[in-house]
Structure 1
Amino acid sequence: MLLRERQTPEGVLVSVCDSECLGETYAEGEVSLEVTEAFYGGEEADEVDEATVIESLTRASVANIVGEQAVSVAVEAGIVDEDRVLVVDGTHHAQLLWM
């Protein structure tokens, strides 16, 4: 999985995706999800394991998660509610906002 963290005025923004999702666009009806290099990849992104994803998501203020593996890690760790996961063109997507 690819993980990228950014410090924002609102806190830590985490983007994580399954590696094979990078560069893909998923569309279904009026919903479109673009997994761009600029947001999910780049030099600031790291290839990481499940433990690192969980650690990062628990520190995040906001997170965007794409791909079956990445979303499953978040669900199994109790960070994302499975009932809140979107499936767009067969690809899992979840957003996280800690308040």
Structure 2
Amino acid sequence: MYLKVHRMPGAGEVVAVCDSELLDATLMHGDVEVCITGGFYGTKRATEEEVRGALASAENVNIIGKRVVALAIAMGLIAEEDCIMIGDVPHAQIFRI
């Protein structure tokens, strides 16, 4: 998986994670293209333990891919019905307030 933490002064942080095979892919959702880029999801691979740690403490999360979404479900952060499908790829966002 690829992991990137976006830190925004005064606005907290966003943790972005994608499954490794999705990096640089473009998915279609109706007429909308979803581009999975290293600029947003990062270019360094992360271990499952690193991803777990980042997800557990994040205020805002953007995840895409079967493995990372399954991990978030297993951690109790989201339920399967909280996800949308972009083609056959699950995507979810988590906001803690």
**TM norm structure 1:** 0.87
1:21 corresponds to which letter in structure 2? L
CA contact (8 A) 1:12 1:59 kept: no
Q: Sequence identity, in percent?
A: 32
Aligned ranges 1:54-93 → 2 under 5 Å: 54-93=52-91
Q: Distance in 1 between matches of 2:60 and 2:14?
A: 5
Which SS does the other structure have where 1:58 is aligned? helix
Kindly state the Cα deviation for residue 23 of structure 1 after the two structures are TM-superposed.
Answer: 0.5
Q: Which moved more, 1:56-65 or 1:23-32?
A: 23-32
Kindly state the Cα deviation for residue 14 of structure 1 after the two structures are TM-superposed.
Answer: 0.4
- Count of residue correspondences: 96
Corresponding residue number in structure 1 for 2:2: 2
Corresponding residue number in structure 2 for 1:39: 40
Which stretches in structure 1 are left out of the alignment for 5+ residues?
Answer: none
Aligned-residue RMSD, C-alpha: 1.4
**TM norm structure 2:** 0.88
Q: Distance in 2 between matches of 1:94 and 1:25?
A: 17
Q: Distance in 2 between matches of 1:57 and 1:77?
A: 9
Which SS does the other structure have where 1:51 is aligned? helix
Q: Distance in 1 between matches of 2:16 and 2:31?
A: 23
Corresponding residue number in structure 2 for 1:19: 20
Q: Distance in 2 between matches of 1:58 and 1:30?
A: 33
Corresponding residue number in structure 2 for 1:28: 29
2:29 corresponds to which letter in structure 1? E
